Amino acid sequence: MKTTLLKGCTILTMREGEQPFAGDILIEGERIAGVAPVIDREADEVIDARGMAAMPGLINAHNHAAMCLMRGFSDDLKLMDWLEKKMLPAEARMTEEDIYWGTLLAAAEMIRSGTTAFADMYVCMDAVGQAVLDSGMRASLTRGLVFLQDDGGKRMQEGIDLVEKWSGAGDGRITTMFGPHAPYTCPPEPLREVIALARERRVPIHIHLAETIEETVKLRDKYGQTPTEYLYQLGLFDHHHVLLAHAVHLTRRDIGYLRGMRGGVAHNPVSNLKLGCGIAPVTDLLAQGITVGLGTDGAGSATTLDMFAEIKAATWLQKLDYGDPTRLPAEQVLRMATIESAKLLGIDHEVGTLETGKKADLILIDLDKPHLQPVHNIASLIAYGAQGGDVDTVFVNGRMLMRRRELLTLSWEEIKKQAAKRAARLVQGL
Ligand SMILES: CSC[C@H]1O[C@@H](n2cnc3c(O)ncnc32)[C@H](O)[C@@H]1O
Ligand SMILES: [Zn+2]
């Protein structure tokens, strides 16, 4: 088994209550074999990590990776106009190959900005799975299910096929969920069916919830319920694991329905800001013991997949919304981007903190930059100062995916060429 020793870094383990310290990290095969002030032993490869901060890889808890092909194509619109007039028509032209290359473009961006795992909801999930295998990343894959037209069960079958074919693939790097898209695209009958199926097979569920005021109005007009009440009454929150994307528009009673749920909420602040959706009540959810992680949503709305931008937006929004700078402090928001997101993907037993025995998904951040000096408080510096471009080295499952900012599993030149060609075709005339 290959061993790699990272020497002399500042380590943020992200374990609750543990202070950062200077030390070494030993990687043995897929796993972390030691995290300590000094590890004095031989290794196949020794990396001089002085001047670097080591932390768990960032985990993007809600994404539509292949939407990178629509990055910057249509902005400054309301969500429903953006989705129905721009994204859906472009997506209707997408081939499996487009989705493969779009997902690789996302993987290149994610690795280069320190993300090691992501939760993805999209279509043609064989193409997404293949891109995850090829990139070396870790992912939870979901076939998004929109039930507005009858298709004789085809979509649902694709969701089942994904679960059967891809769960545990890539040496366990890939896990799966069922993905009813949102309350406004999933009427009660098919939604009940998905929940029953997920229960039978013990598969988690990934769904958008309460992203806009328009969604609340739609659900009230149709069912006389808030989006959260609608899902609650269908029994969704009794499920063993539910990943809710957004959860922006929640009443006090809605938050009560979520209390005690297993899984939690993926907060996507940049997408919410850009689409003018609102501010999710993150600190209220946390106060009720609800797990909250961080995601980007697709690059079609967020523009970039840089989790450091989400970290900043998340903490700033809570401070601003409550007029209280003590809300969502640095360590807490960094935990949201790592171990709390890992909980949402159901992989916190394997990743999300740096500790012996866990899978070696970790990043080195180069602090030798004007905006990252001096180092008074490393957690503050990273949460409020670091950017994706500061990430120097990335490991997933013990394998190096980037070293000194060079991608080791992906050909950037080929991805760039493929993405440009395909993106132009998708949006032509729209
Ligand atoms: C059927 S696969 C997933 C589906 O979701 C769409 N999507 C992307 N971003 C959002 C968002 O912010 N809210 C709701 N739906 C979104 C994406 O375009 C795919 O069609
Ligand atoms: Zn989304």
Please report the pLDDT score of residue 275 as a whole number: 97
- Site to probe by mutation for ligand 1, drawn from 208, 275, 296 as the one with most ligand atoms within 8 Å of Cβ, is 208
The answer to whether 350 is a known ligand-binding residue is no
Say what percent of the chain tops pLDDT 90: 100
CB distance 298 to ligand 1 below 6 Å: yes
Whether this model's ipTM surpasses 0.95 comes out as yes
Residues 104 and 94 in one domain: yes
- Site to probe by mutation for ligand 1, drawn from 63, 79, 87 as the one with most ligand atoms within 8 Å of Cβ, is 87
Please report the pLDDT score of residue 124 as a whole number: 98
Three-state DSSP class for 260?
A: coil
Q: What is the CATH number of the domain that holds 107?
A: 3.20.20.140
Residues 45 and 132 in one domain: no
Residues 153 and 195 in one domain: yes
Residues 109 and 239 in one domain: yes
Distances (CA, A) of 286 to 148, 246, 282, 379: 34, 14, 6, 20
Residues 290 and 385 in one domain: no
Helix axes 412-427, 96-112, angle to 10 degrees: 130
Please report the pLDDT score of residue 123 as a whole number: 98
Q: Is residue 351 in a domain? A: no
Please report the pLDDT score of residue 70 as a whole number: 98
Residues 251 and 399 in one domain: no
Residues 320 and 390 in one domain: no
pLDDT digits (tens, 9 = 90+) for 59-97: 999 999 999 999 999 999 999 999 999 999 999 999 999
Confidence band (pLDDT; 50, 70, 90) for 130?
very high
Last residue of a domain, one of 345, 375, 390: 345
Calculated CA dihedral for residues 155, 159, 164, 165, nearest 10 degrees: 80
Please report the pLDDT score of residue 21 as a whole number: 98
Nearest CA owner, ligand 1 atom 1:
144
Q: How far apart (Å, rounded) are the C-alpha atoms in residues 273 and 278?
A: 7
CB distance 120 to ligand 1 below 6 Å: no
Q: Is residue 426 in a domain? A: no
Residues 226 and 296 in one domain: yes
CB distance 274 to ligand 1 below 6 Å: no
Residues 62 and 164 in one domain: yes
Q: Is residue 429 in a domain? A: no
Please report the pLDDT score of residue 69 as a whole number: 98
| Distance from residue 70's CA to the centre of ligand 1 (Å) | 12
- Site to probe by mutation for ligand 1, drawn from 60, 64, 70, 296 as the one with most ligand atoms within 8 Å of Cβ, is 64
| Cα-Cα-Cα-Cα dihedral sign, residues 76, 79, 85, 86 | positive
Please report the pLDDT score of residue 131 as a whole number: 99
Write out the residue range of the structural domain in which residue 378 sits. 3-56+360-407
223 sits in which H/E element: helix 213-223
Confidence band (pLDDT; 50, 70, 90) for 172?
very high
Confidence band (pLDDT; 50, 70, 90) for 292?
very high
**φ/ψ of residue 265, rounded to 5:** -115, 135
Residues 149 and 41 in one domain: no
Q: Is residue 19 in a domain? A: yes
Last residue of a domain, one of 319, 345, 371: 345
**φ/ψ of residue 376, rounded to 5:** -90, -50
CB distance 86 to ligand 1 below 6 Å: no
CB distance 208 to ligand 1 below 6 Å: yes
Please report the pLDDT score of residue 329 as a whole number: 98
| Distance from residue 3's CA to the centre of ligand 2 (Å) | 38
CB distance 83 to ligand 1 below 6 Å: yes
Q: Is residue 143 in a domain? A: yes
| Mean of per-residue pLDDT scores for the chain | 98
Q: Name the residue with tokens 């293949």.
A: 130
- Please tell me whether the overall predicted TM-score, pTM, comes out greater than 0.95 for this model: yes
| Distance from residue 69's CA to the centre of ligand 2 (Å) | 15
Q: Is residue 424 in a domain? A: no
CB distance 243 to ligand 1 below 6 Å: no
Q: Which atom of ligand 1 has the smallest separation from the CA of 146?
A: 1
Q: Is residue 10 in a domain? A: yes
Q: What is the CATH number of the domain that holds 45?
A: 2.30.40.10
The answer to whether 211 is a known ligand-binding residue is yes
Residues 284 and 391 in one domain: no
Last residue of a domain, one of 303, 321, 345: 345
Using left for φ > 0, alpha for ψ between -120 and 50, and beta otherwise, residue 153 falls in left
Residues 329 and 207 in one domain: yes
Q: Is residue 423 in a domain? A: no
Q: How many domains does the chain have?
A: 2
Q: Which atom of ligand 1 has the smallest separation from the CA of 122?
A: 2
Peptide bond into 374 cis (omega under 30): yes
